[in-house]
Amino acid sequence: MEFKKESIGNNYLAYFPVVEVFPSADEVVCTWKQNAFNYVGETESTKGFRAAQLGAVFAVKSHWTISEKPATVVMPTGTGKTETMFAIIVSECRKRTFIIVPSNLLRQQTVERCLKLEKLREFNAISDKCLNPMIACLNSSPTNKDELKSIVERSNIIISTASLISGFTDEYFDILSELCDTLIVDEAHHTPAKSWRRIKRKFADKLCIQFTATPFRDDGQKIDGKIIYNFPLSIAQKQGYFKPINFYPILEFDYEKKDLAIANKAVEILETDMSNNYPHLLLVRASTKKRAKELYDLYSYYFAKHNPVLIISGQKGNKQSIADAKNGKSRIIICVDMFGEGIDIPQLKICAIHDKYKSIPITIQFIGRFARSQGNLGNASVVANIADDDIEDALQELYSQDADWSELLKKISEDKISKEERLQELVRDFTGKEEIPIAQIRPKISMFMYYTDDDTWNWENWDTVFNPEHSHCCINQKAKILIVTERSISSVDWTTSKDIVDLTWQLHILYWNEKKKVFFINTTDKGLADRFASAIFSTKKRKADEELFRCLSGVNRLKLATVGLKPKNGGHIRYQMYAGIDVETGLTEAQKANVRKSNLFGVGYEDGKDISIGCSYKGTVWAKWVETLDYWIEWCNKVADKILDSNISVEEILKGVLIQTVITNRPNAVPYGIDFPIELYLSNSYYLKTRVKEDCLLNFDITLTVENESSPLTFLVSNGQMSEEFTLEVSDKYSDGFVVLHKSGDLIMLKDKKKELYLSEYFCENPPEIRFCDQSSLDGNLLTRAKVHQTQFNNENIIALKWDGVDIKKESQWQKGADAKANDSIQYKVISMLKLKNEYTIIFDDDGKGEIADVVAIIEDPTAIKFELYHCKFSGGDEAGFRIKDLYEVCGQAEKCVSWYPRINKLIDRLIERERRRLSKPQGTRFEVGDGKILQSLKKKLKFFRSEFSVYIVQPGVDSKKITQPMHDVLCSASSYLKETYAIELRLICS
């Protein structure tokens, strides 16, 4: 395209067509004013503005009639955002507009499209008499302020990148903001970044419109500017702006082969499209420049005939490479992120994702470019390896076997945007000056609760408590929320100088629930709570008695970390605090007549989740986390429901508290279960090694080797090739009260990416948890005693089977050295029984060191994904009987496996990794029903379906008619643990 260009250093002025003398900025705007703008909409037979474009233009016009505040327009990629910007500028006759974009390539592309206003002229939105705008392209900082002023004064539209402009001096910013009347931000999801924020501040008094397809961020930061228009992706798809996206999943577990597998499939699609006369290009996505170069070498070696090009930032020759791609000379482009935002090459229709984006907004932006309808170019195709899946939960469904990308991108995008709009709706109902953006407020989860009989509130009285010269108030009358931010200046305690002070900000929130006749105060200055309450309500009473402890109701296996006591009659001792292991003493003291409970704090389980909760008789309730304003409101309402429930007995709650005590001797009880510290399960990066061998931790078991209730606490860590036995000694002669010592076998070391240390050393810092038949557990020298609620194992959970043809002393279906499955084994019997039901999507043989269970079976039904874990154990005798030892180890395994329940995605990852490691062995696959693709698919569906867990003990050595009380004790201990942590039922399959 030929246009007149005047270079000024590295920057330039441009105008189309070529003329002898540039028109002035005023002359251009004058022609816009004289020729009415034509808002013609497209039809089936004529070109015109798309519905999304007209909607956005009119939304901006409407907004500017009532507000000069920044506003955000949400338009999906490919719906004509750039032309919408130009239409706003011309139709509103904006004299001088500054457009900021995120990249150099997008800057150049925007300049080229702005020069001719070609799309607007195609359907006569503007007449031939309207002059094109004078364009200034800022590629670098001008040499002086006079040069900058000259460039800007002569232009209608100035285009540059945020990274360049953010480095301008204040003098340069003053020139830009003084001469420009409008700011347009492209790809506005970047605005919370520091460089973009500075630009926004400098243009605070100018009209500002922001455009984005994704008005949300993964880091939780909020985009300022009310969303005044949101064109949903679902409507864009329905109106034909997007073609369907064909997803081609690759399932390659071998990391060394995955890149070639993706490349082969992607090039196969490219060549098929080429044979069908589609001029498609293949984009290869890498995460880093290093990875991009590696992939360039791979594609150049195997697919040189398609002339691959590498396009990465800072590399010479990018412009020529893009030209080669556009004219079809090169069919494969390898890049990092240069094509994520705004870059327009319509022929890009195939994407090979070698490294997945871990961000929802970027994924939507990136893939949206491929799905846009472009003439007769056909549908888009995406290739990715679904076996390599370390990504955010919200994206996991995309990378599944049967994923419908068109539907899923629509759902993910609209769910996220809807959440932002709901938060903005809450924020929008606030009035008053915001010193801190309300959407960015993250209060600590705590509150004081008050009763009130008032029908109205006097929120205007806030300034009787806080100095309005140093404070700001925001009020939401609809939701009954009052927020005060207060600037506080105080002296420091390490100097007498009055010139050195601390400047801090205090946050005060009041929320009134009219229906419950209660209100809540969250404040960083607790001494002001009552004054704040009295100013707003004429009648109020702080909830400050033992009924507050009802908030602990429903928390299972509550373990108190602190108990505070206050003498009822005063005296020399005003307050006593019992922390950690001393809480039992505190509870005992609380039962005496001369003290009362002051505060409690603990951790436990509620609704199958780990939680923390604390409360004080003075009226405070709190938890150990920080959250958004709307979350705090929901939490207050939930806690209030418990506190107001008169049917909840505080004393009954405290009867179920778990008590930890320091012990100096081995507990006089029978241990039956032991487990690695949970953090070791959460990563596949841990390895155990000796001088000559090394293996992943997931291939190891930890088992007890204790002989009886009085013998030393010994346990074994082994994978079959490496084994080390340890002894845990409890005694006050050790500084920590206990020690873990090497007893026999190999000297095993624990290794991860950062360090190596002997396993015995690790256990001295992180002791494995040992569980006993009396429902107590030992963590180093801390013994936790549970309240025993169950003494008889539920008879309905006992399943008696006949074991004809089964050697009940043979556990595994794969016996050492055997070439075939042992069809007389316990495990084989269980798997055969499950197969006969014909209702399982997955049956997985997980038997071996490091197993989750001997058999993992999964049922998929319309409402839930059900996991059944079967723990098999061989009999201690030839006949079924009442040997308690037959239950010890298998009950311990049943307790151990429930730690996977809140981490089901990790459970599936572990199964996949164990399958990958098994494939190299003679036994072949671990799958008895289903395969890796189906398992990956189930993992994605977990986001949308609830999961259920069932745990089975399989011990044919137990006679269902001869279960003794000691056996009931062991079964009840395991059953109680499963129920009270994650509400899981334990069942026994026996004889």
Q: What are the pLDDT digits (tens) for 113-124?
A: 999 999 999 999
| Average pLDDT of span 719-730 | 92
Please classify residue 119 by burial: count the beta carbons closer than 10 Å to its beta carbon, then call 0-12 exposed, 13-18 middle and 19+ buried: middle
Q: Name the residue type at position 900.
A: W
pLDDT of residue 382: 84
Residue 779 phi/psi, 5° resolution? -125, 90
Measured distance CA(850)–CA(848) in Å, rounded: 6
* pLDDT (0 to 100) of residue 339: 52
pLDDT tens column, 133-190:
999 999 999 999 999 999 999 999 999 998 899 889 999 999 999 999 999 998 776 6
Would you state the pLDDT for residue 569? 45
Characterize the bridge pairing of strands 207-212 and 620-626. unpaired
Which of 597 and 529 is assigned the larger pLDDT?
529
Q: Please, is 885 exposed, middle or buried when counting C-beta atoms within 10 Å of its C-beta (0-12, 13-18, 19+)?
A: middle
**Partner residues linked to 563 by β-bridges:** 578, 600
Of the segments 811-815, 833-837, 861-865, which one has the largest average pLDDT value? Answer: 833-837
Whether the Cβ atoms of residue 790 and residue 802 lie closer than 8 Å to each other: no
pLDDT given at position 658: 66
Reported as a pLDDT band with limits 50, 70 and 90, residue 57 is very high
Examine the pLDDT at 726 and tell me if it is beyond 90.
yes
Higher pLDDT, 233 or 693: 693
Token digits of residue 52: 């999304």
> Are 447 and 613 contacting, i.e. CB atoms less than 8 angstroms apart?
no
Two tokens, residue 70: 């920044």
The alpha helices in 746-849, defined as continuous H runs, are 759-765, 826-837
Which pLDDT value is given to residue 155? 97
Is the pLDDT assigned to residue 566 strictly greater than 80?
no
Asked if the model's pLDDT at residue 908 lies above 60, the reply is yes
The dihedral sign for the CA sequence 104, 107, 111, 117: positive
Q: How far apart, in Å, do the first and last CA atoms of the chain sit?
A: 86
pLDDT band, very low/low/confident/very high, at 449 (cuts 50, 70, 90)? very high
E strands, 156-218, in order: 157-161, 182-186, 207-212
Distances (CA, A) of 702 to 31, 354, 889: 82, 37, 11
Cross-sheet strand order for the sheet of 4-8: 4-8, 11-15, 135-137, 157-161, 97-101, 182-186, 207-212, 71-74, 226-230
Greatest mean pLDDT among 133-137, 347-351, 376-380, 728-732 lies in: 133-137
949: β partners: 867
Provide the mean pLDDT of the chain.
84
Residue-wise pLDDT for 261-292, tens only, equals 999 999 999 999 999 999 999 989 888 899 99
State how far the Cα of 904 lies from the Cα of 945, in Å rounded to an integer. Answer: 12
Range 390-419 average pLDDT: 50
| Range in 142-151, 400-409, 799-808 the model is least confident about | 400-409
The answer to whether 458 and 538 are in contact (CB under 8 A) is: yes
pLDDT for 400 equals 42
Amino acid at 885: K
d(CA 726, CA 714): 6
Statement: residue 842 has pLDDT above 60: yes
Write out 505-547 in H/E/C secondary structure: EEEEEEEEECCCCEEEEEECCHHHHHHHHHHHCCCCEECCCHH
Within 8 A by CB and 6+ apart from 971, the residues are 793, 887, 891, 953, 963, 986, 988
874: helix, strand or coil: coil
Q: Quick check: 386 and 396 in contact, CB under 8 A?
A: no
How far is it, in rounded angstroms, from Cα 795 to Cα 792? 8
Statement: residue 395 has pLDDT above 50? no
The overall pTM is greater than 0.85: no
What pLDDT, on a 0 to 100 scale, did the predictor assign at position 656? 62
pLDDT at residue 196, rounded to an integer:
79
Q: Where are the alpha helices (DSSP H) in 310-358?
A: 318-326
Task: Report pLDDT for 707.
Answer: 75
Question: How confident is the model over 62-91, as a mean pLDDT?
Answer: 91
Q: How far apart are CA 390 and CA 816, in angstroms?
A: 35
pLDDT at position 592:
47
Percent composition of the chain: helix, strand, coil (DSSP 3-state, to 5): 35, 25, 40
d(CA 435, CA 484): 9
pLDDT for the residue numbered 378: 80
Q: Is the pLDDT higher at 347 or at 870?
A: 870
Give the whole-angstrom CA distance, residue 408 versus residue 388.
19
Of the candidates 84, 58, 70, the one whose C-alpha atom is nearest the C-alpha of residue 188 is 70
Residue 698: pLDDT band (50, 70, 90) is confident
Order of all β-strands in the sheet with 749-751: 694-696, 687-689, 749-751, 756-758
Please report where in the chains the tokens 């009931």 appear, as a residue.
Answer: 968
Who contacts 599 (Cβ-Cβ below 8 Å, separation ≥6)? 562, 563, 564, 614, 615, 616, 617, 618, 620
Mean pLDDT of 60-73: 93
Highest mean pLDDT among 63-67, 256-260, 390-394, 899-903: 63-67
What average pLDDT does range 457-486 have in this prediction?
A: 91
Q: Cα–Cα distance between 874 and 956 in angstroms, integer? A: 7
| pLDDT at residue 710 in the model | 83
Q: Which of 44-58, 80-94, 310-324, 467-481 has the lowest mean pLDDT?
A: 310-324
Per-residue pLDDT, 522: 95
The percent of residues in the chain predicted with pLDDT above 70, rounded, is 85
| 396 pLDDT above the threshold of 50 | no
Measured CA to CA, the distance from residue 678 to residue 658 in angstroms comes to 20
The two tokens of residue 701 are: 């078991």
Q: Which of 423, 439, 446 is nearest to 636 (CA)?
A: 446
Least confident window among 167-176, 575-584, 979-988: 575-584
Q: Are 957 and 875 in contact (CB under 8 A)?
A: yes
Q: How far apart are CA 555 and CA 604, in angstroms?
A: 6
| pLDDT attached to residue 543 | 82
* Window from 57-71, 535-549, 710-724 with minimum mean pLDDT: 535-549
What is the rounded CA–CA span in Å between residue 400 and residue 935? 9
Characterize the bridge pairing of strands 135-137 and 157-161.
Answer: parallel
Q: Between β-strands 471-476 and 444-451, what pairing exists: parallel, antiparallel or unpaired?
A: unpaired
Are 46 and 35 contacting, i.e. CB atoms less than 8 angstroms apart? Answer: no
Alpha-carbon gap, residue 26 to 153, rounded angstroms: 10
| Whether residue 838 has pLDDT greater than 50 | yes
Neighbours of 254 (CB within 10 A): 11
| H/E element, 28 | helix 25-34
- Compute the distance between CA of residue 884 and CA of residue 788 in angstroms, rounded to an integer: 19
Query: What integer pLDDT is reported at residue 930 of this predicted model?
Result: 93
